[in-house]
Amino acid sequence: MLRVVLAEDAVLLRAGLVELLGRVGHRVVAAVGEAGELARAVDAERPDVVITDVRMPPDFRDEGLRAAVELRSRHRGLPVLVLSQYVATAYATQLFGEDAAADGGLGYLLKDRVGEVADFLDALERVADGQTVLDPEVVRVLLRQRTADEPLKRLTPREREVLALMAEGLNNQSIARRLTVTEASVVKHSGNIFMKLDLDPAEGNRRVLAVLAHLRGRPLTPPGGR
């Protein structure tokens, strides 16, 4: 069972998420409609994971996102899943800054994904477990933005598929299941990707951050400044 603090200004969606999470055994310890209330609820409840909308009152801009980043700085390693109505790579870039995401436990999903209940719950539980999750549609947009880059042109179609799934936060075993290939094959493709894109061959969240940094066009400095 996860103890969840939920911040969503749309009353019907907020109520639906509370019901859904309760039905599968999780407990929403606070459900709020404003970013300020979110901060107070987290401070009071110390939840296992936070779910927050990007746009919250009063200005409906990025209040929820800014609250998530601030909470992550105050409560180191606090798992946070951010929901967005639209594909906004700027939001993902802000959320997945190196300092903010280094500890893992961070996710960015489109609200449409909530309707795919199994995928949504899987993402929530992965974030609560300290993993990094990025919506597949956001990954597709990032890839399209970098299609003309010479390093990406070096990748085979299969390597591009593996790269996209790496960016979503999937580990080698999950990628192998998704593509119906062996894990050894995924390891081989990953090695080729790291070499062709000059990425640090790390694992887990560090790998996701390296891939995202490349897709944003901002190389990630490896540990130790190498």
Residue reference for tokens 């951010």: 82
- Within 51-169, where are the H helices? 63-74, 89-95, 98-101, 117-128, 136-145, 150-153, 157-168
Per-residue pLDDT at 170 exceeds 80: yes
206 vs 100: CA distance, rounded Å: 12
The mean pLDDT of 25-36, rounded to a whole number, is 94
What is the share, in percent, of the chain residues with pLDDT greater than 90?
44
Quick one: pLDDT at residue 219? 43
Quick one: pLDDT at residue 5? 97
Question: Amino acid identity of 160?
Answer: R
Quick one: pLDDT at residue 200? 72
Quick one: pLDDT at residue 103? 66
Quick one: pLDDT at residue 98? 52
56 vs 100: CA distance, rounded Å: 20
Q: What is the mean pLDDT of the chain?
A: 84
Per-residue pLDDT at 147 exceeds 80: no
CATH number of 139-225: 1.10.10.10
Quick one: pLDDT at residue 222? 37
What's the Cα-to-Cα distance from 113 to each of 25, 51, 87, rounded to whole Å?
A: 20, 13, 12
* Same fold? 3-134, 139-225: no
Per-residue pLDDT at 218 exceeds 70: no
Give 204 or 154, the one with higher predicted confidence: 154
- Find out whether 59 and 36 touch, Cβ atoms under 8 Å: no
Quick one: pLDDT at residue 224? 37
The mean pLDDT of 157-178, rounded to a whole number, is 91
Per-residue pLDDT at 194 exceeds 60: yes
Superfamily of domain 3-134: Response regulator (3.40.50.2300)
Give residue 7's pLDDT band: very low, low, confident or very high (50, 70, 90): very high
Q: Give the model confidence (pLDDT) of 44-65 as tens digits.
A: 999 999 999 988 888 888 888 8
Per-residue pLDDT at 20 exceeds 80: yes
Q: Give the model confidence (pLDDT) of 87-140 as tens digits.
A: 776 777 777 765 554 567 888 899 888 889 998 999 999 999 998 888 888 888
For the chain, domain boundaries: 3-134, 139-225
